[in-house]
Amino acid sequence: MRRVRNGVYILLGLLVAAVWLFPVYWMATTAIKPGRDMYSAQPQLIPLHPTMQHINRVLDDPAFWQALRNSATVTAITVVFAMVVAFLSAVAVARFDFRGRKAFLASVLVVQLVPHVALIIPLFLALSGLGFADTLTGLVIAYLAFAMPFAVWTMRGFVAGVPRELEEAAMIDGCTPLQAFRRVTLPLVLPGLIATSIFTMILSWNEYLVAYFLTSSPDRYTLPLWLTHFITSEGAEFGPLMAGSTLIALPVAICFALAQRNLAHGLTAGAVKG
Amino acid sequence: MRRARIVRARRITVRKEAVAVTVATHAAAGPAPAPRRPRRPRLPFLLIAPAAVILLLVQAYPLARVAALSFQSWGLAQIFSDEAAPFVGLENFQRILSDPLFWAALRRTLVLTAAMVSLTMLFGVGIALLMERLPAWLRRVVMSVLVMAWAVPTFVSTQVFAWMTQQNFGVLNHLLGLGQHNWYVNPVEGLSVATAVVVWGAVPFIAVTTYAGLTQVPGELVESARMDGASGLQVLRRVTLPLLKPVLGIQIVLSVIWDFQVFNQIWLLRNASPEPEYQTIGIYAYMQAYQGHDYGYAGAVALVNVLLLAVVLVVYVRQLIRMGDLA
């Protein structure tokens, strides 16, 4: 009876893995299938004639490299700024009591819930007023704000999780406060920094909606916008589309998989309570 | 005992110096009933200033602007000339009340949200419970697959689902033996595909966080319930789920908020021009603004959207307060 039940669990587990794996598998295999295999009456579950034609078409496209540069720039700057800004706020709310602390925390939570779609029109008007419409700077500012609530919330849990006594002990042993911070606090909040920077990275690397509205010049396209090139009113060119998708999603998926442990920890610390 | 006192004394002097020099951050632990968080009037404000500025600029200001916009008639005249937008009072909101397209979009959004959230929670929590019962190797496999699926951007997963449901060469029609079925003629079917994309993308988050919560349920509790003769199902209903309630509550609220705003998936599945039968309230607001150039009316629709979510928000904040998270 027990063995039967365990067998059922294993079958279900395999089924779950298959359902969540299949779209990714189908994307990656379509990317290396020649056109006649992609568009055959009988879809081929295994790519029998792998080809680089779609991938080469992407790699030979200068617009792809431009978009890659734009995405990488926006993402890197957003992550660095978000970490610094969120960390400072996290220290403020975790270590200090000040007037408006609760109000700050509550508003951080509330803004997380405001639909981006509703903000887009005025955001566009506001950024144009500052001369940031259709610039990468404008995107960085927007993504910073979108990433901020989650980052502050998660970091707060980690900072609060480092006992003050540890820092004090380090200072008793002769560390300056800055040294105590660098040698004691920083290593302890590092998993939190990694988790939040990965979330921020994914947010800005994957963001489509705001980029779509704020960007009009093709040389400022980020990867998601570049990808939509392959969709025309006559339909989509699924070969290069899947090749491009694979190239865009791959680095992120690898980062995610590598940081799997930190992620789960970061989430529990932030979401469940630090 | 004496040593302890000496250490304490040292600590106090060190503390005084440190406070004089520094940024920092410590208190408590001393013998005097020190306040848990030292009050230092300016520093915390400096620390939160950058975050506050960004949030004000990108979240608060636009939100206030939407609210203002919704009482104005703001259209092409304001884009091409600097003509001031006339205030029209509640006119935009009156228009909403008598706009059948708005009500249809609202109903569609509510039904879709209900379907997406309940399916996401069902699969997410189910998979988390299943993972607990799997052998370690398979649990790692499932976890990695879920985490990988999580990292796939929505615009990519949407394109993949669009390709899988393609009429002539889609693998789904082949696997289901449907011939050349067009999934997008009937909006119910088309929106089901959109629901599948959303659920596929949202389940990993729910499953991983629920699983993390499950590992924190004390084993002794489950064991003692078992010893008292509870069946597996009873343990789940009486012990595990009640303990997970706070986590589940937040997950549901977050899912409602995310799914209420679903945009990308429907937008991209319909090639950036969704038919009226595919429009959710967010898409409808956008179409009014960018295609109808009726920014005032779009602002009013967006504001109604925010207000509806505010109801959910109240539940969310209350839940957080109950969990002591705002303390």
Chain A contacts of B161, Cβ < 8 Å?
A: 23
Beta carbons within 8 Å of B33's beta carbon, 6+ residues apart: none
Q: How far is B139 from chain A (nearest CA, A)?
A: 8
Q: What is the structure's pLDDT at B232?
A: 81
Q: How confident is the model at residue B8 (pLDDT cuts 50, 70, 90)?
A: very low
Q: Which residue has the higher pLDDT, A213 or B116?
A: B116
Please check the confidence at residue B317 and state whether its pLDDT lies above 50: yes
Q: What is the pLDDT of residue B3?
A: 46
**Between A81 and A49, the higher pLDDT residue:** A81
Q: What is the mean pLDDT of residues A138-148?
A: 90
Per-residue pLDDT tens for A91-120? Answer: 888 888 888 888 888 888 777 777 777 788
Chain B residue with the nearest C-alpha to that of A89: B48
Contact A144, B55 (CB under 8 A): no
Q: Is the distance from CB of A117 to CB of B62 less than 8 angstroms?
A: no
Mean pLDDT of A134-145: 90
Res. B261: pLDDT tops 80: yes
Under the banding of pLDDT at 50, 70 and 90, the label for residue A39 is: confident
Per-residue model confidence (pLDDT) at position A105: 83
Q: Which of A23-27, A105-109, B49-53, B231-235 has the lowest average pLDDT?
A: A105-109
Average pLDDT, integer, range B156-171: 90
Of A246-250, B8-12, B35-39, give the lowest mean pLDDT range: B8-12
Record: contact B138-A10, CB cut-off 8 A: yes
Q: What pLDDT, on the 0 to 100 scale, is given for residue A268?
A: 53
The 10 Å Cβ neighbour count of residue B153 is 24
CA atoms of B18 and B146, how far apart (whole Å): 47
Distance from CA of B2 to the nearest CA of A (A): 18
Distance to chain B for A133, nearest Cα, Å: 13
Give B163-167 contacts, CB < 8 A, sequence gap 24+.
Answer: B163/A26, B163/A27, B163/A30, B163/A236, B163/A238, B163/A241, B163/A242, B164/A23, B164/A26, B165/B193, B166/A238
pLDDT at B35: 46
Percent of chain A at pLDDT exceeding 90: 26
* Spatial contact of B149 and A24, defined as CB atoms under 8 Å apart: yes
- Looking at residues A186-192, what average pLDDT do you find? 82
Burial of B65 (0-12, 13-18, 19+ CB in 10 A): middle
Instruction: Indicate the range of A20-29, A100-109, B98-107 predicted with least confidence.
Output: A100-109
Please tell me which of the candidates B62, B271, B326 has its beta carbon nearest to residue A122. B62
Q: Which of A40, A224, A236 sits opposite B153 (nearest CB)?
A: A224
What would the mean pLDDT of B219-239 be, rounded to a whole number? 85
Instruction: Pull the structure tokens for residue A86.
Output: 């969120």
Characterize the bridge pairing of strands A231-232 and A235-236. Answer: antiparallel
Q: Of the spans A90-99, B59-68, B103-112, which averages the highest pLDDT?
A: B103-112
Of A16, A113, A114, the CB nearest to B127: A16
How far is Cα B301 from Cα B304, in angstroms, rounded to an integer?
5
Q: Is the pLDDT of residue B240 over 90?
A: no
Integer CA distances (angstroms), A217 to A67, A133, A222, B202, in order:
11, 11, 11, 32
**Which residues of chain B neighbour A178 with C-beta distances below 8 Å?**
22-23
Annotate chain A with DSSP letters as a single string: -HHHHHHHHHHHHHHHHHHHHHHHHHHHHHHTS-HHHHT-SS--SS-SS--SHHHHHHHT-HHHHHHHHHHHHHHHHHHHHHHHHHHHHHHHHHH---TTHHHHHHHHHHHTTS-HHHHHHHHHHHHHHTT-TTSHHHHHHHHHHHHHHHHHHHHHHHHHHS-HHHHHHHHHTT--HHHHIIIIIHHHHHHHHHHHHHHHHHHHHH--HHHHHH--SGGG--HHHHHGGGEETTEE-HHHHHHHHHHHHHHHHHHHHHTHHHHHHHHIIIII--
| pLDDT computed for residue A216 by the predictor | 86
Nearest neighbour of A152 by CB, restricted to B51, B66, B216: B51
Mean pLDDT of B177-193: 91
Residue A269 has pLDDT above 70, yes or no: no
CB under 8 Å to B179, separation ≥6 — which residues? Answer: B173
The pLDDT score that the predictor gives to residue A266 is 56
The yes-or-no verdict on residue B22 having pLDDT over 60 is no
* B325 or B203, greater pLDDT: B203
B133 CB neighbours in chain A (<8 A) are 6, 9
Say if residue A258's pLDDT is above 80. no
Which tokens hold the place of B289?
């603004």
Is residue B226 packed enough to be buried (19+ CB in 10 Å), middle (13-18) or exposed (0-12)? middle
**What is the DSSP code string of B208-237?**
HHHHHHHTTS-HHHHHHHHHTT--HHHHII
Q: What pLDDT is recorded for position B36?
A: 52
Taking an 8 Å cut-off on Cβ atoms, the answer to whether B156 and A249 are in contact is yes
Confidence band of B167 (pLDDT split at 50, 70, 90): confident
pLDDT at residue B315 greater than cutoff 80:
no
Output the CA angle B236-B237-B239, nearest 5 degrees.
Answer: 70
Chain centroid to Cα A244, Å, comes to 18
The rounded mean pLDDT for chain A is 84
**Structure token digits, residue A264:** 């789960």
Q: How far apart are CA A241 and CA A231, in angstroms?
A: 8
**Residue extent(s) of CATH 1.10.3720.10 domains in chain A:** 55-272
A191: closest CA of chain B, how far (Å): 16
- Chain B residues touching residue A98 (CB < 8 angstroms): 39-41, 44-45
How many CB contacts within 8 angstroms connect chain A with chain B?
329
CA dist., res. A196 & res. A161, Å (int):
15
With a cut of 70, say whether residue A271 has pLDDT above it.
no
Cβ–Cβ of A253/B152 closer than 8 Å? yes
Closest CA to B273 of B294, B287, B285: B287
Range of weakest confidence among A32-41, B201-210, B308-317: B308-317
Does residue A267 carry a pLDDT above 80?
no
- Do the Cβ atoms of B257 and A89 come closer than 8 Å? no
In this predicted structure, the answer to whether residue A121 has a pLDDT above a threshold of 80 is: no
Residue in the structure block whose two tokens are 């012990």: B239
Q: What is the pLDDT of residue B161?
A: 95
Q: Which of A21, A101, A113 to mutate to test the interface with B (most CBs of B within 10 A)?
A: A113
**Coil, helix or strand at residue B72:** strand
Nearest chain B residue (CA) to A42: B174
Residue B255 CA to residue A267 CA, distance in Å, equals 16
Contact A142, A213 (CB under 8 A): no
The predicted model gives A221-229 an average pLDDT of 89
Mean pLDDT of B52-81: 82
Sign of the alpha-carbon dihedral angle for A9, A11, A17, A23: negative
Let me know if domain B102-322 sits in CATH 1.10.8.50.
no
CB contact under 8 A, A113 and B131: no
Sign of the Cα pseudo-torsion (B114, B117, B121, B124, in order): positive
Is the Cβ pair A85, B250 closer than 8 Å?
A: no
pLDDT bracket for residue A40 (50, 70, 90):
confident
| pLDDT tens-digit map of B297-310 | 888 888 888 888 88
Q: Work out the average pLDDT over B53-70.
A: 85
As a whole-number percent, the residues of chain A with pLDDT over 70 amount to 93
In angstroms, the CA B262 to CA B218 distance is 37
**Is pLDDT at B29 greater than 60 in this prediction?**
no
Find the DSSP H helices in chain B.
2-21, 43-55, 61-69, 76-80, 91-97, 100-132, 136-151, 154-164, 171-176, 187-214, 219-227, 232-235, 241-260, 264-269, 281-290, 295-322
Side-chain-side CA neighbours of residue A88 (13 Å): 16
Tokens read off for B95: 């228009």
Q: Are B296 and B85 in contact (CB under 8 A)?
A: yes
Q: Do A102 and B326 touch (CB under 8 A)?
A: yes
Q: CB–CB of B283/B242 below 8 Å?
A: no
CA-nearest residue of chain A to B170? A43
Pair of tokens at residue B161 = 């689902």
* Topology annotation, domain A55-272: MetI-like fold (1.10.3720)
Contact A125, A186 (CB under 8 A): no
Task: Check B130 against A268: CB less than 8 A apart.
Answer: no
Q: What per-residue confidence (pLDDT) applies to B203?
A: 96
Q: What is the pLDDT of residue B60?
A: 84
Contacts of A107 in chain B (CB under 8 A): 55, 60
- pLDDT score for B326: 55
Q: Of the ranges A46-50, A78-82, B23-27, B294-298, which one carries the lowest mean pLDDT score?
A: B23-27
pLDDT score recorded for residue A237: 85
Between B109 and A198, the higher pLDDT residue = B109
Q: Cβ-count burial of B211 within 10 angstroms (0-12 exposed, 13-18 middle, 19+ buried)?
A: buried
Lowest mean pLDDT among A154-158, B90-94, B267-271, B314-318: B314-318
C-beta atoms of A126 and B154 within 8 A: no
